[in-house]
């Protein structure tokens, strides 16, 4: 029996500067997340300790996602030490937790080891907090998802590869430089200081200086241009911007932030961290640039699965209101129990402009890229720090460009394009930590709402962000929603890539006319297969899959054009005397109040009601396992237009991803069916 020791935990905000040499602590342990669940159980019980001689990289779990590390219900706590009690609660086998409560915390571990793409999925920093407050100080993996890696840096958790681990387990001391040598200069300083808050304190005291790169004039991508616009002069903590700058991938820079937001899932932690770090009287720089949204847990009570947690959810809501009153940020809290809409949808409708740099506490912040803004999610620590300072640091990312040509055939949508990109490019690692830039003549085939789907699902590709080129259609869409804004004013803010710009991920031409409707198998969005025209509308590799639930909603698929697509199919069904199939529940949830109003004015609501569709008010819900539309039993099958289908994400059943058209067609046929025009004709 291996002796187990509880972690000696200290708040990260009080960490001292890190030692120059890293060693494993005598008596502390290394946990290998293997594909064999029994090996994990035996390590947790203290029966065995493994080494890299016992476990090869191919035997380690890949794609350990943040939902598995801290499921939604774990995030109802906002204090990290409480979150850590349920570390890895979402890692299950046959419906049973592999990690009992306190298992990681009481196992005596300080290193945790996994395979490729550690930390994919939601941007929730709680995943890192659960490990850190359980005593983990080194995470080892073949690769890390970008937001998760950044959260590790901000929390002061070191990251390493297998070679470094092998040396540490031999008892060697490894220089801190070996953990940081591939990092940009600013990230290196954050690691050396022990985390983001200690670094911010050192920066404010003048103990460290953040450099501005001296990159020569060069052709730049869209992302590089936006970053260059927001640079802060060397050594400055003021919000003036450096003149005529240029950047290249790898440049570490301090930048101003145009807009940001948090929601009730995350605001409480932001508020708590700022109080802990700066005292109860803390202040936020430029509060008019930031916002709070009450959208993620708006249907928690109606979902019926979180009854035992409603007290904690009410605490999160209360703390968000306290934060908003204290700081004066924009208020999008629910009124009369009704949310104004999903933060990402409302933000793109109302205040994200072309050329903006946006950060918010959610991985789908990248949806703002459809407006020509560089937008991506960050953890609560990073968001709290930028609220206090008005600026943040980033390493200029590489980009990958998708040059779209042709026009999609009837029945093919932006969701099908993204499932195709996930299958062909993302699973090869080509999009990892890169900005996905969408352009070319084929982009005009997609409406602004459809382009929002492209940008939104960049995070499913483990990309840093998604950016769509801005044209008159996008500018007109934004101007119509901004009182006093003109197309010309917005056009002056927009950026376009320079001729000759360099793309580290390459330039990839996609002929939209060659695409077919896609469906992704349960478990991961990159498990897509196309429909087979020789087999009618059914997806051949999936076969005849009977469904119990069809769900249309979420930030990805609750926009105006998505609602129009659902309505298009249901109108055709209604004319043919069809409606939602017996035994199927078809749920449509609006992304915002604007979308709900459009549905009423267009007559869609009447059609949906006649067809037996259940309509849900604006907000998040089933997508995060917190509202109507989620499965309640393992034997249930769902076809959904949401963005990710990790195991347990939207209930215990099997969840297939598809486009709004396919979801609506499947609701009528009762089996997963790709939509074809006229398919319901007598």
Residues 496-532 pLDDT 10s: 999 999 999 999 999 999 999 999 998 888 887 776 5
How far is 419 from 437, CA to CA, in rounded Å?
16
Place of tokens 């009369």: 336
Class of domain 12-199: alpha beta
Topology at the third CATH level for domain 517-682: Aconitase; domain 3 (3.30.499)
State the pLDDT at residue 227: 96
User: Each residue of 583-631: pLDDT tens digit?
Assistant: 999 999 999 999 999 999 999 999 999 999 999 999 998 888 888 899 9
- Look up residue 579 and give its two tokens: 């409606």
To the nearest whole number, what is the mean pLDDT of the chain? 91
CA distance to 9, 292, 366, 451, per residue, from 348 (Å): 41, 14, 10, 12
How far is 80 from 465, CA to CA, in rounded Å?
27
Averaged over 325-337, what is the pLDDT? 95
CA distance to 120, 121, 161, 509, 555, per residue, from 450 (Å): 24, 21, 39, 19, 12
How far is 67 from 583, CA to CA, in rounded Å?
29
Give, as one character, the DSSP assignment of residue 306: -
Of 570, 680, 577, which is closest to residue 614 (Cα–Cα)?
570
Place of tokens 């059914």: 538
Give, as one character, the DSSP assignment of residue 406: S
State the pLDDT at residue 244: 63
pLDDT confidence of 137, banded at 50, 70, 90? Answer: very high
- E-assigned strand segments in 628-679: 637-640, 654-657
- Break the chain into its structural domains and give their ranges: 12-199, 517-682
How far is 251 from 212, CA to CA, in rounded Å?
8
List, in order, residues 6 or more apart from 506 with CB less than 8 Å away: 400, 401, 430
Residue 157 CB-density burial (10 A; 0-12 exposed, 13-18 middle, 19+ buried): buried
Residue 227 and residue 357 in contact, taking contact as beta carbons nearer than 8 Å: yes
Q: What pTM was computed for the model?
A: 0.87
pLDDT of 405 strictly over 70: yes
List, in order, residues 6 or more apart from 230 with CB less than 8 Å away: 241, 255, 256, 257, 258, 357
Instruction: Give exposure, 423-452, as e/b (b: 16+ Cβ within 10 Å).
Output: bebbbeebbbbbbbbbbbebbebbbbbbbb
Residue 448 and residue 426 in contact, taking contact as beta carbons nearer than 8 Å: no
pLDDT of 13 strictly over 90: no
Of 198, 187, 193, which is closest to residue 381 (Cα–Cα)?
198
How far is 372 from 370, CA to CA, in rounded Å?
5
User: Each residue of 159-214: pLDDT tens digit?
Assistant: 999 999 999 999 999 999 999 988 888 899 999 999 998 888 888 788 888 777 78
Q: What 3-state DSSP class applies to 657? A: strand
Residue 186 CB-density burial (10 A; 0-12 exposed, 13-18 middle, 19+ buried): buried
């Amino acid at each position: 029996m291996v002796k187990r020791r509880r972690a000696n935990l200290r708040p990260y905000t009080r960490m001292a500067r890190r030692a120059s040499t890293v060693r494993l602590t005598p008596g502390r342990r290394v946990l290998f997340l293997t594909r064999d669940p029994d090996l994990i159980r035996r390590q947790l019980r203290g029966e065995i300790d493994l080494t890299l001689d016992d476990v090869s990289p191919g035997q380690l779990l890949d794609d350990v996602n943040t939902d598995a590390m801290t499921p939604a219900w774990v995030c109802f706590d906002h204090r990290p030490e409480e979150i850590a009690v349920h570390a890895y609660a979402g890692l299950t086998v046959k419906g049973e937790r592999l990690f009992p409560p306190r298992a990681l915390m009481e196992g005596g571990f300080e290193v945790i080891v996994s395979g490729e793409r550690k930390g994919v999925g939601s941007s929730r920093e709680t995943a890192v907090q659960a490990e850190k407050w359980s005593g983990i100080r080194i995470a080892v993996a073949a690769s890390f998802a970008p937001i998760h890696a950044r959260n590790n840096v901000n929390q002061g958790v070191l990251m390493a590869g297998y070679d470094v681990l092998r040396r540490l387990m031999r008892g060697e001391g490894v220089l801190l430089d070996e953990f940081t040598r591939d990092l940009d200069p600013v990230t290196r300083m954050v690691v050396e200081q022990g985390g983001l808050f200690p670094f911010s304190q050192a920066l404010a005291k003048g103990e460290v200086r953040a450099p501005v790169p001296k990159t020569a004039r060069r052709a730049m991508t869209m992302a590089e241009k936006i970053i260059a616009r927001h640079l802060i002069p060397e050594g400055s903590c003021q919000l003036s911007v450096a003149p005529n700058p240029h950047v290249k991938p790898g440049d570490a820079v301090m930048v101003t932030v145009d807009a940001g937001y948090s929601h009730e899932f995350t605001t409480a932690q932001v508020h708590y961290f700022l109080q802990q770090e700066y005292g109860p009287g803390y202040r936020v720089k430029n509060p008019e640039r930031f916002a709070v949204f009450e959208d993620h847990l708006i249907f928690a009570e109606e979902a019926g699965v979180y009854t035992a947690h409603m007290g904690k959810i009410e605490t999160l809501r209360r703390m968000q209101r306290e934060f908003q009153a204290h700081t004066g940020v924009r208020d999008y809290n629910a009124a009369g129990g009704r949310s104004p809409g999903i933060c990402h949808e409302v933000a793109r409708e109302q205040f994200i402009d072309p050329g903006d740099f946006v950060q918010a506490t959610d991985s789908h912040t990248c949806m703002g890229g459809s407006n020509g803004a560089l937008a991506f999610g960050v953890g609560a620590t990073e968001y709290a720090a930028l609220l206090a300072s008005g600026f943040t640091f980033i390493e200029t990312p590489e980009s990958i460009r998708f040059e779209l040509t042709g026009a999609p055939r009837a029945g093919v949508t932006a969701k099908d394009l993204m499932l195709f990109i996930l299958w062909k490019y993302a699973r090869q690692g080509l999009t990892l930590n890169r900005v996905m830039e969408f352009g070319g003549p084929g982009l005009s085939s997609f409406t602004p709402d459809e382009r929002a789907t492209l940008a939104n699902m960049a995070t499913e590709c483990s990309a840093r962000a998604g950016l769509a080129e801005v044209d008159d259609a996008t500018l007109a869409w934004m101007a119509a929603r901004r009182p006093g804004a003109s197309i010309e004013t917005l056009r002056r803010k927009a950026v376009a890539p320079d001729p000759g710009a360099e793309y580290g991920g390459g330039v990839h031409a996609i002929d939209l006319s060659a695409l077919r409707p896609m469906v992704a198998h349960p478990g991961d969005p990159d498990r897509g297969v196309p429909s087979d025209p020789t087999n009618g509308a059914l997806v051949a590799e999936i076969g005849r899959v009977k469904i119990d639930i069809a769900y249309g909603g979420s930030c990805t698929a609750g926009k105006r054009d998505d609602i129009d697509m659902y309505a298009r199919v249901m109108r055709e069904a209604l004319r043919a005397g069809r409606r939602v199939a017996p035994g199927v529940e078809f749920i449509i949830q609006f992304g915002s109040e604007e979308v709900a109003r459009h549905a009423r004015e267009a007559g869609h609501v009447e059609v949906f009601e006649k067809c037996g569709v259940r309509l849900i008010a604006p907000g998040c819900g089933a997508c995060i396992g917190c509202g109507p539309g989620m499965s309640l039993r393992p034997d249930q099958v769902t076809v959904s237009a949401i963005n990710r289908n990790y195991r347990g994400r939207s209930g215990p059943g099997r969840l297939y991803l598809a486009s709004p058209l396919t979801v609506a067609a499947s609701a009528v046929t009762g089996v997963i069916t790709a939509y074809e025009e006229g398919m319901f004709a007598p």
